[in-house]
Amino acid sequence: QFQMIKYEQLQWDECLGQGSFTRVFKGTKVDIREGEEHRTQVLLKVLDANHKDYWEAFFEASSMMSQISHKHLLLVYGVSVHGAKNIMVQELVKYGALDLYLKRKGSVSVSCKLDIAKQLALALNFLDEKNIVHGNICAKNVLLAREGDPSQETSPFIKLSDPGIKVSLLDLILDRIPWVGPELLQDPPILSLDSDKWSFGATLWEIFNNGETPLKDWDLEMKRRFYGTYQQLEPSQWTELADMITQCMDYQPASRPSCRVVIRQLNNLITSDYEVLHASEAPER
């Protein structure tokens, strides 16, 4: 169930980058309504030719996103097909992927990161209430629409992107450790709302580690062993946050906290605790 957009309605600008099986371009969607031309800036996500057999799964992600609407979920306008080209037409989000943004900036305030975490939790809660599994929550799929500026008292604003092709179809499960819930390594893999909770925990870790990639450069065997021996990511110094991440990344899916609990815990985190902690960590002079 999705809107079909005519290829002729699309204008293409520069390539913005590449995903696991996609190339993304900036572009414009042109609609003629009542004789008037309406132009919308869009992001055009093109499925790689060598993954074209997955077009159904690719469009499934698009259809899932089109069916729901929430301020922290990316808007998907529809899909377009042109010859062998499969295109998802979506909202262009100004600052792009959150992991890259955090890496680039280096110094985003803790209160800003906390705002982002809360917004993501709201998106997760919305999906949870609708009984919809996202399946690919991670910092690169969190897009930043607005920067936060503490001096101007403005908050950042995020949009959760589409999940793309299911990781289980692409044989990417081991690769996606530590974002995938360990229950996805079972045969058959089990993907549920609880799995998104685990991914949320890993994403919190990324946010508070400035977009650092967890288990970067680990090979698949090491990653498999990480789950096999029930390990956890290196805990944050901020104990309350570390606790939350560990609760989300519970090896027992059913033991992970509900969205409501997650939101409450995030609201209870007090930034000044973190700042005091870091002041005491500063090297002695």
By CB under 6 A, residue 97 contacts ligand ATP: yes
**CA 108/CA 33 separation, integer angstroms:** 42
Helix, strand, or coil (residue 145): strand
Site stretch for ligand ATP (CB under 6 A), options 140-148, 180-188, 217-225, 268-276: 140-148
Task: Tell me which amino acid residue 50 is.
Answer: N
Q: Which is nearer to Mg ion, 65 or 259 (CB)?
A: 65
Which residues have a Cβ under 8 Å from the Cβ of 161 and sit 6 or more positions away? 74, 93, 141, 142, 143
Question: Which among 18-26, 192-200, 209-217, 225-233 is the span making contact with ligand ATP, rule CB under 6 A?
Answer: 18-26
Q: Can residue 19 be called a binding residue for ligand ATP (CB under 6 A)? A: yes
17 interacts with ligand ATP by CB under 6 A = yes
Nearer to ligand ATP, 63 or 236 (CB): 63
Residue written as token pair 């939101």: 263
Contacting residue, 63, 155, 161, 199, with ligand ATP by CB under 6 A: 161
Interactions with ligand ATP, residue window 32-91 (CB under 6 A) = 43, 45, 74, 90-91
Enclosing H/E stretch for 144: strand 142-146
The type of residue at 74 is: L
Question: What are the helix (H) ranges across 190-269?
Answer: 193-208, 220-228, 239-248, 259-268
- 141 interacts with Mg ion by CB under 5 A: yes
Q: Which of 2, 77, 79, 96 binds ligand ATP (CB under 6 A)?
A: 96
DSSP summary character for residue 131: T
Rule CB under 6 A: choose which of 79, 98, 120, 143 binds ligand ATP. Answer: 143
CB within 8 Å of 137: residues ≥ 6 apart: 120, 124, 160, 163, 179, 196, 199, 200, 203
| Cβ 32 to ligand ATP shortest distance, Å | 24
Asked if residue 52 lies in contact with residue 36, where contact means CB atoms within 8 angstroms, the answer is: no
Among 11, 20, 168, 246, binds ligand ATP (CB under 6 A): 20
Question: Hey, which residues between 175 and 234 contact ligand ATP (CB under 6 A)?
Answer: none
User: Is residue 43 within 8 Å of residue 92, measured between CB atoms?
Assistant: yes
Residues in contact with ligand ATP by the rule CB under 6 A: 16-17, 19-20, 22, 24, 43, 45, 74, 90-93, 96-97, 100, 136, 140-141, 143, 161, 164
Residues in contact with Mg ion by the rule CB under 5 A: 141, 161
